[in-house]
Amino acid sequence: MNGAESLIRSLVGNGVDTCFANPGTSEMHFVSALDRVDGMRCILGLFEGVATGAADGYGRMRDRPAATLLHLGPGLANGLSNLHNASRANSPVVNIVGDHASYHRRYDAPLTSDIEGAARPFSAWVRTSPNANTVAADGAAAVAAAGTPPGRVATLILPADTAWCEVDESNNTTATRPTIVAPERPSEAAIDAAAGILRSGETTAIVLAGPATREHSLELAGKISAATGARLYAQTHSPRITRGAGRVPIGRIPYPIKQAIDLLRDVRNLILIGGKAPVGFFAYPGMPSELFPPGTRVHALARIDQDIPYALEALVDAVGAARAKSPLAPLDLPDRPTGAISPEKLGALIAATLPEDAIVVDESITTGRTFMAASETARPHDWILPTGGAIGFALPVAVGAAVACPERKVICLESDGSGMYMPQSLWTLAREGLNVLTLVFANRKYQILRAEMANVGASNIGPNASALLDLDRPTIDWVALAGSLGVSASRAETMDALSHQIDAGLSTAGPVLIEVVV
């Protein structure tokens, strides 16, 4: 048994049975070992960002890690944007990066780089296996690190000789199942302080993040809100929000800074559960970085790595809300709009057509700002948002979500500009036959950057600026692009056509794409 075989055995034995991969020469012994070790499903992405984004989506839906397999430093670099998003989402990911054989590194071959240095800003745990005998234990340690609450990116670097060398069975470091330490509970003082704030009668907002936006935690937060009058908000970009009929409705703090400031203008207290105090996504001239008024009392009840359900249960008891009834969204589907396409009509149609238990992966950017509000009373579903701001997120994450939950329909809401960062995802969707309906909103421009130019005071958009903001000359043909990558596709230019095409896409097994001209 060589090191690569021992690593795969270790991963599978510790519950990691899916690997999103884009391998190269240094990873060939790992690839070969896949035919000698049972239990690992390996899925090819034609770009490393597809692999890392898919691992993010898988982790968000399964709450346990998938692995990636990347090729040396440049391969890792290609995947870093979606590792950034995964780390901001606290997704569990075991990120395996091949390296040159340990004795070959001193020759400074063309692909040599500081892989550990590149990995550390985007990983909570980094280790390079020193020899074949440690690989199994290093793999188990990576799984344990990735599963440490609330979830982390763990990067294991595998020099080629540690993969191809035989394991010395008499001197092998065994790969025991990792022990994952339970999250610590917030202090009684923190719970008492939050209860005191809620009893003060002052305007209070509870900002929920991470596990706090799942169904059980939202039900507890709803009880607290019903008993105290506190407002409930999700942070602007949440990894996963459980929503729709029968769930506690929760708005999110808007991305546009003026809207966010107006929303929180009268708030005197912020209670943070799983997140940080809200700040602007960027700095803007003449605007504050903090979205809440000066003098607002900010109380962190529970950090993201603490036991959030316990914190909410304890706060329910502390404010006497055990018998309070959480407000639940009714099932109230809007009529299907007709005629010309508009963002408001799109939100209504999406809300009307979402199937039961759908998973929505949303990178609709400017077109989709109203979509979440419109779907509050849709059928029960989960909504996934970009957490780190690195675009090219939705298509790869949809791949991972569909692999994690093959029985559920995934609805990918993608902007045309963002979609062009990772269009290779469509090939993986087709190859794996994944149950994903993708709507690409084609306004043929980076509309968000046009708005941001005004926000930062650089509002003079002349021909040179337009050349960097517009996606025309040539116009991207998403129907032809998707078809070339094996995905059935169509184009909608009216709400009536889009409604018909969504019905057809939802009834189709496997991937379907609709280009929505807006």
For residues 47 and 422, the answer to whether their CB atoms sit within 8 Å is yes
Comparison of pLDDT for 470 and 41, the residue scoring more: 41
* 79 CB-near residues (< 8 Å, 6+ apart): 22, 48, 49, 51, 52, 68, 70, 95
Strand partners, 415: 441
Average pLDDT, the chain: 96
d(CA 291, CA 258) in angstroms, rounded, equals: 9
* E strands in 329-404: 358-363, 381-384
d(CA 95, CA 93) in angstroms, rounded, equals: 6
Q: Please name the residue that has the structure tokens 């690409």.
A: 440
Residue 174 has pLDDT above 60, yes or no: no
* 3 state DSSP class of 340: coil
d(CA 173, CA 176) in angstroms, rounded, equals: 9
Q: Are strands 41-44 and 66-71 parallel, antiparallel or unpaired?
A: unpaired
> What are the structural domains of the chain?
3-171 (3.40.50.970), 188-318 (3.40.50.1220), 343-517 (3.40.50.970)
Query: What DSSP state is assigned to residue 335?
Result: P
Res 463: pLDDT = 87
Token duo for residue 413: 């809401």
For residues 20 and 66, the answer to whether their CB atoms sit within 8 Å is yes
Nearest partner of 133 among 47, 269, 38, 6, judged by Cα:
6
For residues 166 and 2, the answer to whether their CB atoms sit within 8 Å is yes
* 3 state DSSP class of 179: coil
Token duo for residue 59: 């982790």
pLDDT digits (tens, 9 = 90+) for 176-234: 676 778 899 999 999 999 999 999 999 999 999 999 999 999 999 999 999 999 999 99
β-sheet with 241-243: strand ranges across: 241-243, 381-384, 358-363, 410-415, 436-442, 512-517, 488-492
pLDDT digits (tens, 9 = 90+) for 258-301: 999 999 999 999 999 999 999 999 999 999 999 999 999 999 99
Q: Quickly count: other Cβ atoms within 10 Å of residue 340's Cβ.
A: 10
Token duo for residue 75: 């391969």
DSSP string, 224-288: HHHHH--EEEE-SS-S-EEESTTS---EE--SSHHHHHHHTTT--EEEEESS---B-SS--TTS-
Q: Please name the residue that has the structure tokens 């036959």.
A: 433
Q: Quickly count: other Cβ atoms within 10 Å of residue 294's Cβ.
A: 6
Confidence label for 172 from pLDDT (cuts 50, 70 and 90): low
Res 367: pLDDT = 93
Token duo for residue 162: 């540690």
d(CA 61, CA 374) in angstroms, rounded, equals: 23
Residue 437 has pLDDT above 80, yes or no: yes
d(CA 435, CA 505) in angstroms, rounded, equals: 10
Residue 171 has pLDDT above 70, yes or no: no
d(CA 237, CA 369) in angstroms, rounded, equals: 12
Q: Give the residue-averaged pLDDT of 90-97.
A: 98
Confidence label for 66 from pLDDT (cuts 50, 70 and 90): very high
Main-chain dihedrals φ then ψ at residue 73, nearest 5 degrees:
-60, -45
For residues 339 and 496, the answer to whether their CB atoms sit within 8 Å is yes
pLDDT digits (tens, 9 = 90+) for 457-511: 887 788 888 888 888 989 999 999 999 999 999 999 999 999 999 999 999 999 9
Res 173: pLDDT = 59
